[in-house]
């Protein structure tokens, strides 16, 4: 029995969400989706018990990609889930794990092993947060021995962090097994981005004499006799440029996502009726940005942890190479600094070198991850050609040979993969520079998730309105 089999077996002994005996109605699934969302929001706003230090403001990228909230039960958010998924997808794509994800048994094994890995990561990250003494004063150079908290207090906080992460895993599992719509990961990311956008627009909280939200800040400026030009750009984003950029990028994404590239085909089974197969212009959707965000967020998380307990455990040069902080705990150098997105035009202009490095790295990694995703997920020319042949389709004027179809499809799919990865990468990077609300990656993910939910709900409503469709598609 291999390691993957052992991990899959371990998942069988964990508390889990059972698959419904019958498929719930659309309204039942919407209800349970709403319940999962409410549970997440409650945990994301429930402070950890037993921590004396007020948590610092969280890095936006980590908050968006991991749907986390520092100092609450959602300290880890969906980080263990998405990290485990990324690792497993890479291992399968690199053929280090021999699994056929189109096979139901292999798919089940993959899902179970991924759950076990997510739990292992949740335990590890919760332990690191506690051992690094993140929320307690440190009286010496070694946080393991000079932390002011007792081991009982550390254990309690560690269990709270792990419990929050495990509940998130169960909520995601419940939704994906048919109780809800979509996935918990998508739902929680969307909720997190929507919260950030709402907070940046309407928050009345005042810091350093200025309201956080744009609308209260605009009222504050105009009521004191100021001009609207002072609202155009300000440190930390949340300005008028960011709001306009948010609206423009949202419209542009919706427009691009509805563009299709049509491939002419025919099928002898339907008396050679000619038709077209539409391919999405944004062929990779927002997947490259999601993978880059997960990679960035993981680097930022571990850089922060290494910084705290680096002395005597991790070489100091490695700690500084990953992240360098000033006396106030702000990132000022290292890899994590250049991977952290600028917060608007003001921040981008203040450090143009970091801005250029960030854009180049983000766009390059988007192309790499986009191409890798197409190969791993079966969206490449070879897999699509085989599916066309199996369904009886053929290209006019060509023999029903998968290799011939593959060469023809490759002329469409490979350029679309590279071009769409480039577009989403550039959009995400420029959105960060312009200070869109929720961050460039967050906004791209949120728009994609909203469109997915729209299509899923429309599909479910069509099935309920026309029961004959269920028989035609085998449900």
pLDDT of residue 258: 84
pLDDT of residue 248: 92
Within this chain, do residues 274 and 378 fall inside the same structural domain, yes or no? yes
147 SS3 class: strand
Q: Where among 176, 193, 210 does a domain terminate?
A: 193
pLDDT of residue 170: 93
Predicted TM-score (pTM) of this structure: 0.82
Within this chain, do residues 120 and 245 fall inside the same structural domain, yes or no? no
Half-sphere exposure of residue 457, counting CA atoms within 13 Å on the CB side? 12
Residue 9 in any domain: the answer is: no
Within this chain, do residues 237 and 187 fall inside the same structural domain, yes or no? no
Residue 4 in any domain: the answer is: no
pLDDT of residue 166: 94
pLDDT of residue 120: 93
Using a 10 angstrom Cβ sphere, with 0-12 exposed, 13-18 middle and 19 or more buried, the burial of residue 71 is middle
**Which among 435, 434, 213 has a CA at the least distance from the CA of 221?**
213
CA dihedral sign, ordered 416, 419, 425, 428: negative
Within this chain, do residues 242 and 172 fall inside the same structural domain, yes or no? no
Whichever domain contains 138, its CATH number is 1.10.3370.10
Within this chain, do residues 129 and 249 fall inside the same structural domain, yes or no? no
Within this chain, do residues 279 and 399 fall inside the same structural domain, yes or no? yes
Within this chain, do residues 159 and 89 fall inside the same structural domain, yes or no? yes
Using a 10 angstrom Cβ sphere, with 0-12 exposed, 13-18 middle and 19 or more buried, the burial of residue 58 is middle
Within this chain, do residues 436 and 289 fall inside the same structural domain, yes or no? yes
Rounded to whole angstroms, the Cα distance separating 474 from 13 reads 32
pLDDT of residue 40: 93
Within this chain, do residues 128 and 249 fall inside the same structural domain, yes or no? no
pLDDT of residue 382: 75
pLDDT tens for residues 17-43? Answer: 888 888 888 889 999 999 999 999 999
| Tokens linked to 462 | 């069509």
Residue 161 in any domain: the answer is: yes
Residue 422 in any domain: the answer is: yes
Does residue 448 contact residue 440 with C-beta atoms inside 8 Å?
A: no
pLDDT of residue 328: 64
Residue 208 in any domain: the answer is: no
Within this chain, do residues 273 and 161 fall inside the same structural domain, yes or no? no
pLDDT tens for residues 326-356? Answer: 766 667 777 777 877 887 888 888 888 888 9
State which residues form the domain around 331.
Answer: 233-475
Within this chain, do residues 141 and 249 fall inside the same structural domain, yes or no? no
pLDDT of residue 475: 57
Does residue 367 contact residue 422 with C-beta atoms inside 8 Å?
A: yes
DSSP assignment of 101-140 equals TTSHHHHHHHHHHHHHHHHHHHHHHHHHHHHTTTTS-B-S
Domain count across the chain: 2
Residue 389 in any domain: the answer is: yes
Residue 3 in any domain: the answer is: no
pLDDT of residue 274: 61
| Tokens linked to 158 | 């560690």
Spell out, as residue ranges, where the chain has pLDDT lower than 50. none
Within this chain, do residues 144 and 289 fall inside the same structural domain, yes or no? no
Residue 2 in any domain: the answer is: no
Phi, psi of 333 (to 5 degrees): -175, 180
pLDDT of residue 141: 58
**Which among 63, 85, 84 has a CA at the least distance from the CA of 373?**
85
Does residue 80 contact residue 169 with C-beta atoms inside 8 Å?
A: yes
Please list the residues that pair with 275 across neighbouring strands.
265
| Tokens linked to 88 | 């497993």
Using a 10 angstrom Cβ sphere, with 0-12 exposed, 13-18 middle and 19 or more buried, the burial of residue 419 is middle
* Cα-based torsion angle of the residue sequence 355, 360, 362, 367 in order, rounded to the nearest 10 degrees: 160
pLDDT of residue 26: 85
Phi, psi of 94 (to 5 degrees): -85, 5
């Amino acid at each position: 029995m291999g390691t993957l089999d052992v991990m899959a077996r371990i998942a069988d002994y964990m508390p889990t969400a059972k698959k419904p005996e019958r498929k719930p109605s659309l309204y039942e699934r919407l209800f349970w989706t709403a319940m999962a969302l409410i549970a997440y929001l409650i945990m994301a706003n429930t402070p950890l018990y037993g921590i004396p230090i007020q948590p610092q403001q969280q890095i936006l990228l980590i908050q968006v990609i991991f749907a986390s909230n520092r100092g609450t039960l959602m300290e880890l958010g969906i980080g263990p889930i998405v990290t485990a998924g990324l690792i497993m997808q890479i291992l399968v794509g690199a053929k280090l794990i021999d699994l056929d994800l189109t096979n139901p048994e292999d798919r089940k094994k993959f899902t179970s092993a991924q759950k076990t890995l997510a739990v292992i990561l949740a335990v590890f990250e919760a332990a690191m947060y506690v051992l690094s003494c993140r929320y307690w004063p440190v009286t010496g150079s070694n946080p393991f021995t000079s932390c002011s908290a007792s081991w009982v207090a550390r254990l309690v906080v560690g269990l709270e962090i792990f419990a929050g992460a495990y509940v998130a895993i169960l909520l995601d599992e419940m939704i994906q097994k048919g109780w809800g719509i979509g996935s918990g990961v998508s739902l929680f990311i969307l909720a997190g981005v929507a919260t950030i956008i709402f907070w940046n627009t309407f928050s009345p909280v005042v810091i350093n004499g200025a309201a956080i939200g744009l609308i209260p800040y605009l009222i504050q400026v105009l009521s004191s006799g100021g001009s609207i030009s002072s609202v155009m750009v300000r440190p930390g984003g949340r300005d008028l440029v960011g709001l306009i950029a948010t609206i423009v990028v949202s419209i542009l994404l919706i427009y691009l996502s509805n563009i299709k590239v049509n491939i002419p085909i025919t099928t002898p089974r339907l008396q050679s009726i000619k038709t077209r197969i539409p391919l999405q212009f944004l062929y990779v959707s927002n997947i490259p940005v999601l993978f880059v965000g997960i990679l960035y967020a993981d680097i930022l998380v571990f850089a922060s942890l290494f910084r705290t307990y680096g002395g005597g455990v991790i070489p100091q040069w490695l700690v500084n190479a990953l992240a360098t902080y000033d006396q106030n705990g702000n990132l000022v150098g290292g890899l994590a600094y250049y991977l952290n997105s600028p917060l608007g035009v003001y921040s981008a202009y203040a450090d143009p070198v970091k801005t250029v490095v960030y854009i180049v790295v983000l766009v390059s990694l988007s192309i790499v991850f986009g191409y890798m995703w197409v190969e791993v997920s079966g969206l490449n020319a070879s897999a699509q050609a085989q599916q066309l042949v199996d369904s009886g389709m053929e290209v006019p004027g060509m023999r029903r040979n998968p290799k011939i179809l593959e060469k023809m499809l490759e002329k469409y799919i490979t350029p679309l993969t590279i071009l769409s990865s480039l577009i989403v990468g550039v959009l995400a990077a420029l959105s960060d520079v312009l200070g869109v609300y929720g961050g460039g990656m967050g906004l791209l993910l949120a728009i994609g998730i909203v469109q997915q939910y729209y299509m899923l709900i429309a599909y479910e409503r069509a099935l309920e309105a026309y029961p004959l469709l269920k028989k035609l598609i085998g449900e």
